[in-house]
Amino acid sequence: MHYKAIAYHEGWEDGRISGTISLTGTTLTFTSSEQTISLYKNELELDFGGTANRQIFIKSKDNKYAFSTADKSILEHPFFENNQGLQAQKRKAVSSFRKTKIFLAAGFLLFGIFIGMIIYNRSTIVRQMAEKVPYSLEKTIGKSYLTQLTLTGDIDSSSQALTILREKVALITNNIDSSYGFRVYISNDTTINAFALPGGIMVFNVGLLQKAESWEEVLGVAAHEVAHVTEKHHVRGIFSRYGIWTLISIAIGDGSVLTDVITGFGANMEGLKYSRLYETESDTKGFEYLQMAKIDPSGLRIFFAKLSEEHKDDATSVIPQFLSTHPSNENRIENIKTMEDKAPKTEYIILSDYILFRNLLIDKNSEC
């Protein structure tokens, strides 16, 4: 049997030539178009080398010649029997090769476990990365959003109605241990919607404020939006759009990488559409904020249920924007109800002047 091989010798022009090895019981013969070399097995030594020890090296003891082959079946030839030196070297080489295979297999296994852990803990990694984004950067992005809205001339930043709304929302934000400087605005948009911008800006559409029937409903929505800010859902949403390898690169990079990713995404309003996970988090965290402020937390559930009931048979095109960006379903409403049932008995503050506030909105809009 012949085994493809390479022979090495310092005296050759290229130092190596390709050919084949043939073996008898006592002799190794290398044959090429240029050379024929024969050596007795008692003149030879065996070793492994190359990448992952995949190459078998047979060398003359005087270091004059060396031969390499990747065909491991050569080791099964009787040539390597009845010679204690070669047998010992064979056992050592095979053992080394097996250890290398085990080491590589273990390495691939550990690498697979590492990648699996990253995938499994993706949301945790995204959250930790979001925590590294400075408030100043979020604030800048929020201002960019607000500038887009202000250019349409629909933002109210000075009316009496806005002053009252800010006082009510402060009942929630003043109880939160947060570095965010929350700022509240009213948009003259008549669609039923409210949203929080990165950095703590919150915008309530007139349409939503007129649809609500109590401060509890409005502040339920407000607490939910505050939670989107404090849980950094906008930033986490940006990171979640990237693949695992990009996340690893961002995680091990310096702060400038984070900044480039966030600013590169830009003030895209699509970033305000949150996943079901983020909406659930905001429901839960917002509920906590309402409890802390001693505001009846049933308002958010009531508002969701009201909109869902009124529009359950509507085509998608006429579903209120609030429901399109805050998808509601029976499970979600039921989850909020479950939190209410499990909450400790609390004496909630009385908020009874909402009709007067809505009249101010009507007066304000009639002046526009």
211 in the same domain as 328:
yes
**Domain end position, chosen among 63, 84, 116:** 116
- Asked if 195 and 223 sit in the same domain, the reply is yes
Give pLDDT tens digits for 138-179.
888 888 878 877 766 678 878 899 999 999 999 999 998 778
Q: Is 216 inside a domain boundary?
A: yes
Give the separation between CA 67 and CA 2, rounded to whole angstroms: 13
Round to whole Å and give the CA distance between 357 and 137.
34
Q: Per the confidence metrics, is the pTM higher than 0.85?
A: no
Among 217, 222, 227, CA closest to 300? 217
Q: Would residue 197 count as lying in a domain?
A: yes
> Considering the domain boundaries, does residue 67 fall inside one?
yes
Looking at the domain assignment, is residue 128 inside a domain? no
What are the structure tokens assigned to 207, written together? 């349409």
Kindly state whether residues 188 and 43 are assigned to the same domain. Answer: no
Q: What is the pLDDT of residue 227?
A: 95
Closest CA to 212 of 278, 307, 352: 307
Residue 17: closest CA among 27, 2, 29, 30: 30
Boundary-marking domain end, from 90, 116, 142: 116
CATH number of the domain to which 103 belongs? 2.30.29.30
User: Residues 239, 287: one domain?
Assistant: yes
Q: Which residue has the tokens 């190459």?
A: 55
Range name among 62-66, 138-142, 207-211, 342-346 with the lowest pLDDT average: 138-142
- The number of domains in the chain is 2
Question: Of 116, 144, 173, which residue sits at a domain end?
Answer: 116
Beta pairing class for 183-187 and 201-205:
parallel
Residue 124 lies inside a defined structural domain of this protein: no
**Residue numbers of the domain that contains 208:** 133-367
In a domain, 183, yes or no: yes
Residue the block writes with tokens 């409903």: 217
